[in-house]
Amino acid sequence: MATETLSGVPSTAPLLVRAALTSRGRRGDSVPDRTLVVEDVRIDRAKLAAYQRLTGYAVDDTVPQPYPWVLAFPVQTALMARPDFPMALPGMVHLENRVTTHRAMDAGDPLTLSVSAGQVRPHRRGRTLDVRLEARVGSELVWECDSVYLSRGRGTHDAPRGDAPRGDGPPRPPVGQPAARWRLPEDLGRSYASVSGDVNPIHLHPLTAKAMGFPRHIAHGMWTCARTLAALGRTSLGPSTSHVWFTKPVFLPSTVELVVDREPARTVAALRSAKTPETTHLVLTLET
């Protein structure tokens, strides 16, 4: 696989504009054999603190498990915005994430981030794409993430329903009384976009979401993941592995409930609708 080292973390907004302007006509069933790398990435503590406050983490120098995904998002966007990438970035939906933190990360650690895309697969609602993210301190792999994204379009009826990076589906969500209830405001997508750089229009406003085929705007999956992990305590800070399935979009505004089933080395959590508890938005496992 060819490796291309960028001079720094790119600016996301121009890349998203480029991706939108070139979204039509993208086709193909394979992605370029390319890894993008950015070295010596320094964490801005003010931005980290804003992220921690919005997602429910304690404000300190320990990096939340989902935060390297935020740091790598511009690099991921740069990969997907290239003209030879076969799938359109605007409107792409995050289906799933599996993350391993090999040790607790400090905000002072200089990181090397790498991004590569993997397999394109048929899906009943379009096509899915695997993306691999890694973070290293020196030569040490400290964090790794496998994501699955959906590019919506003409689906394949006989496509497999399991789209996990390792082929496993979500466990049954917990039931019973909620451990927490959160009211998600109408502007949550814009607030999270300001701390994460993810300005996908499906999250920002009802009108921009409708242009992408949604009835109204939806919460970022990575906000719901981070908020859930933060509520489970500090064990996710590492070493640990989380696996999250984004099962139904969370339309904004709305109220969600957190339900949790704790086992000695494994926790299963879910976010469900407070209005219709049979609607599950997210299922997450955390292993330590």
Task: Indicate whether 13 pLDDT > 70.
Answer: yes
DSSP label of 62: B
SS percent in the chain: helix, strand, coil, step 5: 25, 35, 40
Average pLDDT, the chain: 90
Task: Indicate whether 16 pLDDT > 80.
Answer: no
Query: Cα–Cα distance between 43 and 113 in angstroms, integer?
Result: 12
283: which strand partners?
Answer: 245, 270
Confidence of residue 155 (pLDDT cuts 50, 70, 90): low
Task: Give the model confidence (pLDDT) of 61-75 as tens digits.
Answer: 999 999 999 999 999
- State residue 256's pLDDT score: 98
Q: Please check whether residue 248 is in contact with residue 281, taking contact to mean a CB–CB distance below 8 angstroms.
A: yes
Q: Coil, strand or helix: which one is 119?
A: strand
- State residue 156's pLDDT score: 54
Query: Cα–Cα distance between 19 and 83 in angstroms, integer?
Result: 8
Confidence of residue 154 (pLDDT cuts 50, 70, 90): low
DSSP label of 17: H
Confidence of residue 194 (pLDDT cuts 50, 70, 90): very high
Query: Cα–Cα distance between 14 and 26 in angstroms, integer?
Result: 19
Handedness of CA 199, 67, 166, 171 (dihedral sign): negative
Domain containing 45: what range? Answer: 2-287
Task: Indicate whether 166 pLDDT > 50.
Answer: no
Identity at 128, one-letter amino acid code? T
Query: Cα–Cα distance between 127 and 26 in angstroms, integer?
Result: 13
Task: Give the model confidence (pLDDT) of 86-105 as tens digits.
Answer: 887 776 888 999 999 999 99
266: which strand partners?
Answer: 287
Confidence of residue 164 (pLDDT cuts 50, 70, 90): very low
Q: Please check whether residue 245 is in contact with residue 282, taking contact to mean a CB–CB distance below 8 angstroms.
A: yes
Of the candidates 172, 115, 183, 180, which has an alpha carbon nearest to the alpha carbon of residue 149?
Answer: 115
Beta strands in the chain (DSSP E): 2-6, 34-41, 93-101, 111-123, 126-137, 140-152, 180-184, 240-246, 254-262, 266-273, 280-287
Q: Please check whether residue 6 is in contact with residue 38, taking contact to mean a CB–CB distance below 8 angstroms.
A: yes
Q: What is the pTM of this model?
A: 0.90
Residue 68's domain is classified under what CATH number? Answer: 3.10.129.10
Identity at 257, one-letter amino acid code? E
Tally of domains within the chain: 1
Q: How many CB atoms lie within 10 A of CB 154?
A: 8
- State residue 163's pLDDT score: 43
Query: Cα–Cα distance between 25 and 160 in angstroms, integer?
Result: 26
Task: Give the model confidence (pLDDT) of 142-151 as tens digits.
Answer: 999 999 999 8
Cα torsion for 51, 129, 205, 66, to the nearest 10°? Answer: -10
Q: Coil, strand or helix: which one is 207?
A: helix
Query: Cα–Cα distance between 142 and 186 in angstroms, integer?
Result: 35
Task: Give the model confidence (pLDDT) of 37-49 as tens digits.
Answer: 999 999 999 999 9
